[in-house]
Amino acid sequence: MRAIVGINAVREALRARTPLAWIAVSRDRRDARIQDLISLARAAHVNVRFTAAADLDRLAGAAAAHHQGAVAQAEAKAVLDLEDLLADSPAGFLLALDGIEDPHNLGAIIRGACGAGVDGVLLPARRAVGLTETVERVSAGALEHVRVARVGNLVQALTTCQQSGWWLVGLDASAPRTLWDHDFTPRTVLVIGAEGKGLHALTRKRCDALVSIPLAPGVESLNASMAAGIVLYELVRQRRK
């Protein structure tokens, strides 16, 4: 089981029809946001518990400072096999993350990926942050709407994507080609590297193309979530055009 912490995250879990055991809300809050949450829960036939702030702190655990008076109890986030994800990706748009270790970055990336309409996200099972409560909270509930495939070996998973007709495009600060010069309209797996380290050498070699984000003097690199967002929406812009 996992805790979903915060009004936005709980609301998105309800909207995504995530199986919830119950929702606990602060008995001291009567504002419109909490009332809306209660109404959504009851419409979804989810049990609502009214509890003291100290109990909510305990339920939220490490995220106690961010629960805003609402915590839900849910089953662990369902993850897919890569083959299932590839078989059902109508937008032709996947995101692969190569060793993201900061849960705040992962949560922000997942929120951006959800907004951009990705078919799913590939996450390594090792040497990368998992789908923690912090990731859930920072994604503000977007994690509930994004399909995730956990893969044992990212390079092997990318090879499988390649063999299935996907184009692998890695973000690399040293790449001479910018994201503006690349055609993102074919079926694409966008590969984002770890904070400060970028893509691992084997991952970089596996990519069909590498692109960079042009930066003005004084900035050597961008936060992983910011960089991911820029490239995600360049892909969206090209396809809409």
Question: How is 106-145 classified by DSSP, letter by letter?
Answer: HHHHHHHHHHHT-SEEEEESSSS--S-HHHHHHTTTGGGG
pLDDT-derived band at 169, boundaries 50, 70, 90: very high
User: What is the per-residue pLDDT across 98-108, written as a single tens digit (0 to 9) for each?
Assistant: 989 999 999 99
Per cent of the chain over pLDDT 90 is 65
Q: In the chain, where does the domain assigned CATH 3.30.1330.30 lie?
A: 2-74
CATH superfamily, region 82-240: SPOUT methyltransferase, trefoil knot domain (3.40.1280.10)
- Is the per-residue pLDDT at 69 higher than 80? yes
Q: Which of 29-43, 64-78, 173-187 has the lowest mean pLDDT?
A: 64-78
Residue spans in the chain of domains classed CATH 3.40.1280.10: 82-240
Region 2-74: CATH code:
3.30.1330.30
Q: With 90 as the cut, is the pLDDT of residue 232 above it?
A: yes
Give the pLDDT of residue 42: 93
- pLDDT at position 30: 84
Return the SS3 of 42.
helix
pLDDT given at position 124: 94
Cβ atoms of 2 and 75 closer than 8 Å: yes
65-70-75 Cα angle (round to 5): 105
**The token pair that represents 193 in the structure block:** 């590297």
pLDDT over 80 at 79, yes or no: yes
| Phi (first) and psi of residue 182, to 5 degrees | -105, 145
Average confidence (pLDDT) over 31-40: 92
The answer to whether residue 18 scores a pLDDT higher than 80 is: yes
Tokens matching residue 199: 């893509």
C-alpha to C-alpha distance for 54 and 43, rounded to whole angstroms: 27
Q: For residues 141 and 110, is the Cβ–Cβ distance under 8 A?
A: no
The overall average pLDDT reported for the chain is 92
Q: What is the pLDDT of residues 177-219, one digit of tens each?
A: 999 999 999 999 999 998 778 899 999 999 999 999 999 888 8
